[in-house]
Amino acid sequence: MSFLDYFRQPEGLENLSPRAVQLAISDENTSIIDVRSDREFSHGHIRGAKPCPLGRLDEYIPEIQKNKQVVLICATGHRSRAAAAKLLKSGFTKVSHLEGGMRSWVKAGNETTNE
């Protein structure tokens, strides 16, 4: 993974607003993957999101279903872009991320959970 992957929009990555992520959550064919650290995740995350820290993404790739829409979440959108680049290079085709990350989620008034 290149340092530039944090800032470059990978071809094939769809940017989602907080509202679009809310709609995606209710779709059983969507996986919500949170690539923040375990500590960040434990302080509040989107209900139903699966923790998958970016630094350990390679370990989790075999567990992520390629036939589902994958929505990536991080704090600001940088790590989710980098994760998307890796997933797209690994053959995933339906990859999106929460533009602005958890900051935009909270700013839009959406709830988080610690469960």
pLDDT attached to residue 115: 83
pLDDT attached to residue 6: 56
Is 15:95 a contact under the CB 8 Å cutoff?
A: no
Average pLDDT, the chain: 92
Closest residue by Cα to residue 1 from 64, 51, 41, 61? 61
Domains of the chain, first to last: 3-107 (3.40.250.10)
Is 86:10 a contact under the CB 8 Å cutoff?
A: no
Q: What pTM was computed for the model?
A: 0.92
Closest residue by Cα to residue 111 from 26, 34, 41, 22? 22
DSSP β-ladder status, 95-98 and 50-51? unpaired
**Which pLDDT tens digit goes with each residue over 66-89?**
989 999 999 999 999 999 999 999
Closest residue by Cα to residue 100 from 90, 110, 92, 91? 110
Catalytic sites, residue numbers: 74
The Cα–Cα gap between 111 and 31 comes to 18
Over 90: is that where the pLDDT of 4 sits?
no
